[in-house]
Structure 1
Amino acid sequence: MPAETVLLLPGTASDEVFVRSVFADPLSQVGAVLTAPRVRTLSERLTALENAFTGHPIVVGGVSLGAHVAAAWAVRNPGKCAGLILALPAWTGTPEHAPAAQAAKISAEIVANQGLETALQGTTGWLRNELTRAWRGYGDQLVPHLEEAATSAAPTLEELKTLDVPTGIVGCTDDPIHPIEIAEQWANAIPRAVLTTTTLDAYPHALGRAVQAWQRAR
C-alpha cells in the first residue's frame, strides 16, 4: 500500500522550506509523505490544493493562513478531503482585529515605506532567520501578499462544524499572534478534531505535534 501523501501550506509570507522543516519528520514517522508546494499568493495556495486532488480524498492542512485556506477548501470540497492537519489557526471568520491580521498589515506598511531590513528589526533567533529567507523569497510579491492575508476570511464556526474528517490541531498557549482560544474554538467546532498544545519556547518544531493529534483523531 503506497504511503499517504499530505499536502501542507505555509502561513502568511512563510514558505515551503519552513513547512518541510517542521512536518517532514513527524509525517515520515507515521508512514506519510509530505508535499509542501512553493506558493506565494492565496490563489496559488488554492491552486495547489486543487492540483493535488487526483480522484481520491487527500489529507491537507497548513500553518496559520495555510490552515485557514486548507480548511476553507475542505468545507467547499467535502468529498475531496480525507483529513486535516492544522497548526496555529489565527482567527475564525473575518479577521476583524485579529492580532495576526494586524501584524501582517503593519508589516506590509513597514516594508513598503521603510524597507525589508527595517521590518525585520526586533526579530531574533530562528524567527529572524526564517523571516529573512522567506520574505526575501517573496520579492515584489511580499507587500501585496501581506495585505491580502490581512483581509482574508477563515472558515466560520458553522462551516468548521461540517468538517467530518480526522483533524489534528496544534495551538500555542502563549503566542499572542495566534491566540490559543482560536485553536480551542476550531477544535470544539470540528466534530473529529483532537487538539494538542505547545509553547513559544518549543517553536518551531513542536508544531509537528499536529501530526500526532491527527493520528489520534483517526
Structure 2
Amino acid sequence: MVEGRPVGRVGDVDWLLTGSGDPVTVFAHGFGGGISDTRPLGSGVDGTRVFLSFRGHGGSGPLPPDWTYDTLADDVRQVADLHGATRAVGASLGAGALTRLVADEPERFERLVLFLPAVLDEPRPAEARGRFVALADALDADDEDRLASVVALEVPAEFSGSAAARTYVRQRTVALRAPGMREALRRLPALTAVPSADALRALRAPTSVIGCVGDPLHPASVAEALADAVPNAILHVYPQPGVLWNQRGDLRRRISEFLNSR
C-alpha cells in the first residue's frame, strides 16, 4: 500500500490510481525513480491520474536484460490502455518511453507533457555517460559513500547539505541498489528513444516539452530537438537546473494548465 488507492498491477507493471472521472492521465517516472516522484506533477491535473512504476523499479517485475525504450513504451501502453488514458506525462526516462510510444502510435494520446527529456535519436553525451558509469562502478565496488557522492551531484548547490538533500540522496541510493540497476546503468547510455526524430512528424497531439539549462543528464538541446520534431509542440526551457528543487510550483502550474486546457 502507498498513499492513495491500493497499487494494482497489469502484467509486471504496478500502478497507483488517484482522482476520478475524465480525462485520465498516465504519469511515467525517471530512471531510479518511482510513483512518489511523479505524484507531485499531477497535483493540479483534472480527472483521474494513473502513476506507473516501470519494470525494474519499485514493486514492479524485473527489466529484461535486453531492454530498450520499446520495453518501457510497452509498460506505459499497458497501463494507459487498462485505464483508458487519453493524456500522458513523462519525466526523463518516462519522457523517452512516451516518445517511443507515440512514434509508433501518433494518435494514442490527446495531450502530452515531456519533462526533462534526456535522449532522442542520439546516445547521451559524454558527461552523462560518465555519470552513469560512475554510479555503476560505485555499485560494483559496493561503496556506499562513493555512490552517495555521485548521486549528490544531482542536487543543486544551494540545497547541498539540507535535510531534503540528505533524504533525496538516501532514497536514490536505495533505489539504485535494486536488482538489475547496475546492469541497467551500463546499458542506458547507449540507448536512444527513437531511431530518428522524423518518426515524430506524424504526431499531432498538443505537446508541452519542458527542459532546462545546465543539467548534463538532461541537455536543453534534447528538449529543443524534441520540440522541433513534434509539429504541435510548445517548448519551455528553465534558465537553470534543479527544476524540481527550485521551480516545482511553477512546473506544476505549467503542467496542470496545459493538461486542463480544453
- Greater RCO structure (CA 8 Å; 6+ sep): 1
- The alignment status of 1:34 with 2:49, answered yes or no, reads yes
Residue of structure 1 equivalent to 2:79: 51
Query: 2:76–2:98: 8 Å Cα contact kept in structure 1?
Result: no
Residue of structure 2 equivalent to 1:137: 175
Structure 2 distance, partners of 1:26, 1:100, is 32
Inter-CA distance 73–101: structure 2 relative to 1 (3 Å threshold): farther
Structure 2 distance, partners of 1:162, 1:207, is 27
Query: 1:13–1:145: 8 Å Cα contact kept in structure 2?
Result: no
Secondary structure of the residue that 2:180 maps to in structure 1? helix
Count residues with an aligned counterpart: 214
Q: Identity of paired residues, percent? A: 19
Q: 1:112-164, CA deviations, whole angstroms, 9 ceiling, x for partnerless residues?
A: 22434321126144455334214413522321222232222112321122221
CA displacement at 1:49 relative to structure 2 = 2.5
Unaligned runs of 5+ in 1: none
Inter-CA distance 152–142: structure 2 relative to 1 (3 Å threshold): same
CA displacement at 1:212 relative to structure 2 = 5.0
CA displacement at 1:72 relative to structure 2 = 0.4
Structure 1 distance, partners of 2:187, 2:26, is 22
CA displacement at 1:183 relative to structure 2 = 0.8
- The alignment status of 1:148 with 2:187, answered yes or no, reads yes
The worse-fitting range, judged by mean Cα deviation, of 84-93 and 208-217 is 208-217
Query: 1:84–1:167: 8 Å Cα contact kept in structure 2?
Result: yes
Equivalences for residues 11-30 of structure 1 within 5 A:
11-21=30-40, 23-27=41-45
Bigger Cα Rg: 2
- Return the structure number with greater helix share: 1
Inter-CA distance 160–16: structure 2 relative to 1 (3 Å threshold): same
Structure 2 distance, partners of 1:213, 1:162, is 25
The worse-fitting range, judged by mean Cα deviation, of 188-197 and 47-56 is 47-56
Structure 1 distance, partners of 2:83, 2:47, is 18
Query: 2:115–2:210: 8 Å Cα contact kept in structure 1?
Result: yes
Equivalences for residues 85-124 of structure 1 within 5 A:
85-97=113-125, 99-121=127-149, 123=152, 124=160
Q: Indicate which of 11, 22, 37 corresponds to 1:3.
A: 22
CA displacement at 1:67 relative to structure 2 = 0.3
Q: TM-score, normalised by structure 2?
A: 0.70
Q: 1:48-92, CA deviations, whole angstroms, 9 ceiling, x for partnerless residues?
A: 422321495622231111101111011112242222111111122
Query: 2:52–2:76: 8 Å Cα contact kept in structure 1?
Result: yes
Aligned CA RMSD, in angstroms, stands at: 2.8
Inter-CA distance 202–96: structure 2 relative to 1 (3 Å threshold): closer
Q: 1:172-209, CA deviations, whole angstroms, 9 ceiling, x for partnerless residues?
A: 02323212121111111111111122232543425435
Query: 1:157–1:189: 8 Å Cα contact kept in structure 2?
Result: yes
Inter-CA distance 102–68: structure 2 relative to 1 (3 Å threshold): farther
Query: 1:14–1:131: 8 Å Cα contact kept in structure 2?
Result: no
The worse-fitting range, judged by mean Cα deviation, of 66-75 and 8-17 is 8-17
The worse-fitting range, judged by mean Cα deviation, of 59-68 and 37-46 is 37-46
CA displacement at 1:36 relative to structure 2 = 1.4
Structure 2 distance, partners of 1:117, 1:64, is 25
Q: TM-score, normalised by structure 1?
A: 0.82
Residue of structure 1 equivalent to 2:17: none
Residue of structure 2 equivalent to 1:78: 106
Unaligned runs of 5+ in 2: 1-19, 58-62, 153-159
